[in-house]
Chains A and B, each alone.
Chain A
């Protein structure tokens, strides 16, 4: 045994954590600035982290098994935490499984069962609903004639009438003319791909031609240069591609359907980027993800599983 083993088990002083902290800071800065700096920070953090851990383990006798004095004159000098010696009965003449032990275990076990019966449904009630019965229902936006070709229309609608004003949404709808004999539309979500603020069209609105169909409001734009976010300055072109600022991908889009000459807005999906414009565009489509999440590239590995949206 070590002398003075009653001393508090604190590691000796070490300077390595300072280097480790510097490495982590450089790594964080690198994530914003450049991959090279991030890699450098990671290496520094790893090296100093290794030195720190080595310092801790070398300084204290972690690797050295404590010797335990024999419990009884006849017992073998086996460490108390190893093998069957830890559970060896003190005496065989005693009851093998005393009544007090049974009562103790059954009280605790019964308590755990009752606690589980009460807690599990309550926890499920708290955690379950946000992930169940999600998904968007189709909403009617208006007749096709309300969407002039080549111009965005600001469509404001109620996604779920039972919830009222809190589910008011805005989408930017542009008719692209006919593609293979079918009408083509670009429907862009107004949720900024940075942190979800509402992007605004960069250009004037044609308030004279505003139309109201029930709770759906349609206001055509006159000529817009793209979309901009008022919160942190993210900018997008007319296809929703990010042009500057903090967003990590292009603006989300919606699927659409046409029935009886009316345009219906469908489910949202995420877009990494769009090549080309209008009906000839190639849309790189991904499953819906929250703002700020990369949908392609290395960073998308950070979000391997999406909850049911």
Chain B
């Protein structure tokens, strides 16, 4: 070995030392590359701010998950102590009013953002082939989000919460055929009873959030796999540059040529 190596400068040595943990992680897991792949994807050049509504919704959900986890440290899901514990959080615990307010108003923000995101996807036609499955997963996420709103509304255990939930459960009860069973399952018996509040609490903070996390994972996987749609006014629409008209006159890759209007 005769290659002479320049000794690293002080600056390079410093950089190496600082980046060593990152290199260590990258070498063993590939996580750094994976995160770069996830965050710094190529997107169409003419996308605009409307395409940030999805990540805004994700941020709103993360805020809900974090504030909800912290609220769970002080909240007591028991008919006799739920309302006093809510008062305790709001009036006594340091910054309790703030965290509870974030969770309470953040819930509305989450729902509103979900609908705006859905509207954007609809108006941009981003639900079309090959992204139909992601629309379906999004609809499931919407249902889960509304379920979070319904189950969370009972937890303050005041008059508004109680009677709104009575009405909500009985609304479920009027669904054809399975309605009475759904209502009885939700309230844990024929009437609202001592088990109803813990039941709603478990659904609100464990069952549905778990499903939402899983569905968000699928949602993002499909976004990464399929890429971001160009806006409808885009001049760089997918396939424009290399479009070859198919023999049937259809636009290749977007529609299946119809055989209906071609009867002899």
| Chain A residues engaging chain B, CB cutoff 8 angstroms | 3-4, 7-13, 55, 58-61, 127, 129-131, 134-135, 159-160, 163-167, 169, 195-198, 231, 288-293, 302-307, 309
Contact = CB atoms under 8 A, between A and B. Distances in A.
Interface string B149-191: 0000000000000010011011101101101110111011111
A164 B187 CA distance: 16
A58 B258 CA distance: 9
Contacts of B166: 195-197
Contacts of B188: 129-130
Contact of A195 (B130, B167, B176, B253): B167
12 contacts: A8-B129, A8-B254, A9-B256, A12-B260, A134-B190, A166-B193, A167-B194, A198-B163, A290-B179, A292-B170, A293-B173, A302-B179
Contacts, number: 121
Interface of B: 79-80, 128-130, 163, 166-167, 169-171, 173-174, 176-177, 179-181, 183-185, 187-196, 246-248, 250, 252-260
Given A196-B166, A309-B190, 10 more contacts: A4-B248, A8-B254, A12-B260, A55-B260, A130-B187, A160-B193, A165-B80, A195-B170, A288-B190, A290-B180
Contacts of A9: 256
Interface centre among A160, A164, A303, A306 (most CB of B within 10 A): A303
Nearest to A301: B176
A249 to B, nearest CB: 12
Contacts of B167: 195-197, 231
Given A164-B80, A167-B193, A290-B170, A12 B258 contact: yes
Contacts of B130: 8
B194 A166 contact: yes
A58 B260 contact: yes
A3 B252 CA distance: 12
Nearest to B207: A126
A134 B189 contact: yes
A306 B180 contact: yes
A196 B190 CA distance: 12
B194 A59 contact: no
A290 B167 CA distance: 11
Interface centre among A7, A55, A165, A305 (most CB of B within 10 A): A7
B255 to A, nearest CB: 6
B183 A290 contact: yes
A122 to B, nearest CB: 12
Nearest to B175: A302
B170 A291 contact: yes
A10 B129 contact: yes
Contacts of B253: 7-8
B256 A10 contact: yes
Given A291-B173, A307-B180, A59 B129 contact: no
